[in-house]
Structure 1
Amino acid sequence: MPRSSYLFATHGSLGDLNPFLALGSFLRQGGSRVVIATHETYRARVEALDLEFVSIFPDAGGYEAELGMDAAAIVHRVSDDFDFFLRDIVGRHVEASIERLLPVVRTVDMVIASSYAHGAHIAAQMEGKRFVGVALQPAAMVAAGEPAVIARMPMMQTPSRRLDRLFNRAILAIANWRMRGALATVRQAYTIRGLKPEAGINGITADVPTLALFSPLLGGTPAQADGRSRMTGFLYLDDEVVSGEVERRVSTFLAAGPAPIVVTLGSFNVTVGERFFRMAIRATRRLGHRCIVIAGEASPLLGEDFGRQVLVLPYLPYARIFPHAAAIVHHGGIGTCAQALKAGRPQVVCPLFADQHDNAHRITRLGAGETLEFRRARPRRTQAALKRILESPEIDERCRSLAETIGREEGLLAAAAFLRNSVDEALPAEAVVYARAQA
């Protein structure tokens, strides 16, 4: 009997893509056909896992050419202007993505898409296919009962009374109304096809089954009582191979001294990271700590000599280095938070925009580190935050406890079972063994 076939569609950084790759690879090994639809930038990464690829968003160079802005300017604009993100990043390619997705959607059993992949949602409705939404972080499921800490809705209250929930609902309604103009292109893509315009501040607003691919430790909206949604735990893609030269440099550096502080800004914020990385190097030097900086392929820091106590790399999988870190300084992307929690290391989270503020708040609330706003990060402040988390036995113990809990979560199994159950197909026994081995 042939296995089911799945189309995964996502928009964003590597942190947004990797959970889909992990789940897609798992389903593919179980005999299913899997198609990944995302940015052209990731074609080689997807095809290396023997998954089919569809390009529905441009690569970084394509965005730069369309917008007449370099990558750093785009990051700054996105962080300062959410309307710009919805209008010029999300809305600009919705029609093209529908056109490219329709032929593929006709050939699959189910479409699974992240919050802003509206083209996939529209194509699934046009072809009458099962659709499952994906929330990669709690902020994507912002609700009156547990509001997100995000700059565009700062007035939402922590609900202790019924009145607080009513107030939060009003704020959400106002925010969605205010964004109607920025979402005009997306909403029109629905309405011209006779569909309800299910697009809001947090992406697709339809009442659909939803996979929440993050740990219950972070909180967020619980699974619906009717079983149509599921919070699975994090999904990790940890089998990425490190090149021989990079592995040699990392191994030599780790063996030469105590655990370093690792500094990273992910794959998106990294384009505005030069000043931040230099600041972090100064802060770690003041503490007398070694550090590893993951600076990005185009960073000018790669050509500089910072001495034997600093290692600057263009890229390094977090699973390779986070377990060896004394502490981790990062931007608060959900994928980075997940890897840091899994490694059991304390964090200084420096959020810049969007869900990063909410993720940072939740990491701090868990007792796994501190928050220091990206724009307020200076050597003395960063040094002080690092000193506090490094010298706190309570934070160290809490991080280890959280890592043990996350290690017991079976996010990959839970997510795959949810999808297979949605198409009345049980998980094969060999797939269960594989997923538990990966965990």
Structure 2
Amino acid sequence: MKVFLVAIGSHGDVLPFIVLAAELKRRGRTVALAAPAPFAAMAARAGVAFEALGTCEDFDRFADEPDLWRPWRGVEVAFRFISSLTEPTYRWLAANWRPGESVVIGSTLSLGARVAQDKLGLPLVTVHVMPVLVESRHAPPVLLGLPLPAYLPNQLRHWIGRGADKYVIGPAALPALNRFRGTLGLPPVRRLRHWWNSPQRVLLTFADWYAPPQPDWPAQAVQVGFPLADRFGDADDLSPDLAAFLDAGEPPLAFTYGSAMRRGRAFFETAVRTCARLGRRGILLAPQSGQVPSELPTQVLHVSYAPFSQLLPRCRAVIHHGGIGTVAQALAAGIPQLIVPVAVDHFDEAQRLRRLGLGSALNHRHFTPSRAAAEIRRLLSTPEILQACAAARARMMDSNGLPAACDTIESLQAVAA
């Protein structure tokens, strides 16, 4: 069986697919991954055949869009980029998929894979890496920071989410998608968040204790644990400078605003001042130039990248945007999290962490040195939070979503045959 994987997004979206591909290859499967061009080096490190979708320049232009980091405006920016990759994805699969020999694994936004399933009948597993992507009347996710009062009934929250489909997501995503479908003789898609689920199998790569299953989730959904996914990232180990810094003093605070963020200057300036106010050491993780102040105090170190599985267990807490990959690594490290949400799933992850007693959140307008310092002090001095983090770490040690995810994928072999 040959497995074609398609992943569209940033590090948190693509790295789980690289890990899945590597594990399937270890099991003897032939694998190939299509993803945005900047992830070619990571795929090569994992020994996975790679098809670049777009160019590195295309991805950089997308990530540089100012509106991308505004919750509602960012939807249009994101789907403009996603739409540009829909036809290339379809063409790659149409040229390489062989009936009876292949299955396809697609991320939520690999719309070209769903089109290929509709047109060609290929076996497809849709993978949702974050709970916000799964609709539910019983436990509706928080969409893009929509400030709904906590007392609103869940069904009303769900109804408002359906309104987001009609007035925000649909207008941004469906015109380009349906134009392409029309060229293939396919009927138009009416509602994206329903159609993007493969009718054969949906794989949910987040733990059931983190996002409990709901009775109205798709019947074909299979939920597994988090597939921790940083071993094929930009570096295999801590840099010598970072290792020396960690060895030289008390565990620091870690600050990151995501791999794709190009407008994090204010966040990192606040991080430096927060460390000074708390009298704590800090590590600033920012891959792009211009994000971090040029002059840093000796107790603060800037690194472009570090594998979180090695770094976070040596930190006191992590302050970040709320991406699911960072959330999962912090859960595995057993440390508190302070979320400063930006867009996409960040607001939903922040709410889940608060409910589980594993962290808290500050609106980016409220992320000031005084407020951040006060909230970090509270997180690090509250026994219940520290106990909840330790319990989450134990849960993460007892479960690994990778084997179950691969088993689910391989179960489609009979369909492929």
The answer to whether TM tops 0.5 is yes
The answer to whether the 8 A contact 1:156-1:168 is kept is no
Identify the residue that residue 145 of structure 1 maps to in structure 2: 138
Identify the residue that residue 291 of structure 1 maps to in structure 2: 282
Secondary structure, counterpart of 2:185 in structure 1: coil
Distance in 2 between residues matched to 1:202 and 1:262, nearest whole Å: 37
Identify the residue that residue 206 of structure 2 maps to in structure 1: 214
Q: Work out the number of aligned pairs and report it.
A: 411
Q: 5 Å matches for 1:30-429? A: 30-59=27-56, 61-63=57-59, 71=64, 73=66, 75-76=68-69, 79-106=71-98, 109-151=102-144, 154-155=147-148, 164-165=154-155, 167-178=156-167, 179-183=169-173, 184-198=175-189, 200-201=192-193, 204-205=196-197, 207-222=199-214, 228-240=220-232, 247-269=239-261, 271-299=262-290, 301=292, 304-424=294-414
The answer to whether the 8 A contact 2:67-2:73 is kept is no
Distance in 1 between residues matched to 2:223 and 2:236, nearest whole Å: 37
Distance in 2 between residues matched to 1:241 and 1:126, nearest whole Å: 34
**Percentage of identical aligned residues:** 26
Structure 1 window deviating more from structure 2 (38-47 vs 242-251): it is 242-251
Secondary structure, counterpart of 1:181 in structure 2: helix
Could you report, residue by residue, the CA deviation over 1:218-237 in whole angstroms, capped at 9, with x for unpaired residues?
Answer: 21544889973211010013
CA 1:40–1:398: 2 relative to 1, 3 Å: same
Structure 1 window deviating more from structure 2 (127-136 vs 202-211): it is 202-211
The answer to whether the 8 A contact 1:9-1:114 is kept is yes
Code of the aligned partner of 1:96: P
How far residue 256 of structure 1 moved from its aligned partner, in angstroms, is: 1.1
Structure 1 window deviating more from structure 2 (217-226 vs 310-319): it is 217-226
Aligned alpha-carbon RMSD (Å): 2.7
The answer to whether the 8 A contact 2:68-2:77 is kept is no
The answer to whether the 8 A contact 1:138-1:220 is kept is no
Could you report, residue by residue, the CA deviation over 1:163-208 in whole angstroms, capped at 9, with x for unpaired residues?
Answer: x43x345334332222332221012223432334445258715544
How far residue 37 of structure 1 moved from its aligned partner, in angstroms, is: 0.9
The answer to whether the 8 A contact 1:263-1:291 is kept is yes
Distance in 2 between residues matched to 1:363 and 1:190, nearest whole Å: 39
Secondary structure, counterpart of 1:144 in structure 2: coil
CA 1:158–1:181: 2 relative to 1, 3 Å: same
Secondary structure, counterpart of 1:272 in structure 2: coil
Distance in 2 between residues matched to 1:245 and 1:148, nearest whole Å: 35
Can you give the 5+ residue segments of structure 1 that lack an aligned partner in the other structure? 426-439
Secondary structure, counterpart of 2:209 in structure 1: helix
Code of the aligned partner of 1:45: M
Distance in 1 between residues matched to 2:287 and 2:195, nearest whole Å: 29
The answer to whether the 8 A contact 2:16-2:227 is kept is yes
Distance in 1 between residues matched to 2:114 and 2:266, nearest whole Å: 39
CA 1:90–1:410: 2 relative to 1, 3 Å: same
CA 1:361–1:42: 2 relative to 1, 3 Å: same
How far residue 407 of structure 1 moved from its aligned partner, in angstroms, is: 1.2
Structure 1 window deviating more from structure 2 (225-234 vs 209-218): it is 225-234
The answer to whether the 8 A contact 1:155-1:171 is kept is no
The answer to whether the 8 A contact 1:327-1:346 is kept is yes
How far residue 241 of structure 1 moved from its aligned partner, in angstroms, is: 7.9
Distance in 2 between residues matched to 1:388 and 1:319, nearest whole Å: 25
Secondary structure, counterpart of 2:46 in structure 1: coil
CA 1:404–1:312: 2 relative to 1, 3 Å: same
How far residue 396 of structure 1 moved from its aligned partner, in angstroms, is: 0.8
The answer to whether the 8 A contact 2:103-2:124 is kept is yes
How far residue 307 of structure 1 moved from its aligned partner, in angstroms, is: 2.8
Distance in 2 between residues matched to 1:287 and 1:217, nearest whole Å: 33
Distance in 1 between residues matched to 2:60 and 2:256, nearest whole Å: 23
How far residue 247 of structure 1 moved from its aligned partner, in angstroms, is: 2.3
The answer to whether the 8 A contact 1:261-1:289 is kept is yes
2:18 matched to 1:21?
yes
CA 1:227–1:73: 2 relative to 1, 3 Å: closer
CA 1:243–1:169: 2 relative to 1, 3 Å: closer
Can you give the 5+ residue segments of structure 2 that lack an aligned partner in the other structure? none
Could you report, residue by residue, the CA deviation over 1:56-77 in whole angstroms, capped at 9, with x for unpaired residues?
Answer: 2432x22455x7xx7152533x
Code of the aligned partner of 1:361: Q
